[in-house]
A and B are shown apart, each in its own frame.
Chain A
């Protein structure tokens, strides 16, 4: 089993460009999450999806959109990238409320 996979691993964007970060899981978990981690900081929740068909804002949703395409896939879109969005982005899954989360390897995004 691959667990949680994220693509791409690295990306460099110019200010104003758009892109979509992809996350897929084969764990049959209901909930999926997107976090960002700035250098030397803890993780901050961007958006999450408690179940297929639902999405909710986290702590720092501005500048992002998400799509829960199906139970396996949860994508994060930056419509107009800004240098402040330079960060490492982690996707995570969770079987249900209160269960532990499993994280992907991360996407390192640089916006110049």
Chain B
């Protein structure tokens, strides 16, 4: 399975935009890019996913590079509630991992009031 690389930690000021990067240089053409986040003492929750085009939903936006070797999760206005660990995950539609979600260490986001 293709791997992802994320910074261990990031900080943001409250009410400012946050850009969380993810590198996936070995991504295959059938890999979807998924993002989850885990708030303290809770289970992970799905945030967003995409294949090639940028995606928006009520929680965040996902910007995917043209060569698909990297992507960025964008939180438009960080709130204290957005302090969490953010996981960038590849899911191969053509592979056995499509049934599963394999988590890496993620990026721990701190939001400063």
Q: Can you offer 22 A-B residue contacts whose CB atoms are under 8 A?
A: A35-B103, A41-B105, A42-B103, A42-B104, A45-B101, A48-B99, A58-B100, A92-B43, A92-B44, A94-B99, A98-B91, A100-B34, A100-B49, A101-B44, A102-B46, A103-B43, A103-B45, A104-B43, A105-B42, A105-B43, A106-B41, A106-B42
The 4 lowest CB-CB distance pairs between A and B, nearest first, are: A103-B43, A100-B46, A43-B103, A42-B103
**Binary per-residue interface labels of chain A (42-68) against chain B in the complex, 1 for a CB within 8 Å, 0 otherwise:** 111100101000000011000000000
Residues 16 to 63 of chain B near chain A (Cβ within 8 Å): 32, 34, 36, 41-46, 49
With A33-B100, A42-B85, A101-B36 known, 6 other A-B pairs at CB within 8 A are: A35-B103, A43-B44, A90-B44, A100-B49, A103-B44, A106-B43
Question: B46, A42: Cβ atoms under 8 Å?
Answer: no
Cβ-closest chain A residue relative to B91 = A98
Q: How many residues of B are counted as interface, with CB atoms below 8 angstroms from the partner's CB atoms?
A: 23
B65 CB → nearest A CB, Å: 22
* In the bound complex, CA of A59 to CA of B93 (Å): 19
Q: Label chain A's interface by main secondary structure.
A: strand
In the complex, chain B residues whose CB is within 8 Å of the CB of A2: none
In the complex, chain B residues whose CB is within 8 Å of the CB of A90: 43-44
Q: How many residues of A are counted as interface, with CB atoms below 8 angstroms from the partner's CB atoms?
A: 24
Tell me whether A31 is interfacial, beta carbon within 8 Å.
Answer: yes
Cβ-closest chain A residue relative to B42 = A105
Contact among B43, B87, B91, B103 for A44, CB-based, below 8 A: B103
Residue of A42, A94, A102 contacting most chain B CB atoms (<10 Å): A42
**Binary per-residue interface labels of chain A (71-103) against chain B in the complex, 1 for a CB within 8 Å, 0 otherwise:** 000000000000000000010101001101111
Tell me whether B80 is interfacial, beta carbon within 8 Å.
Answer: no
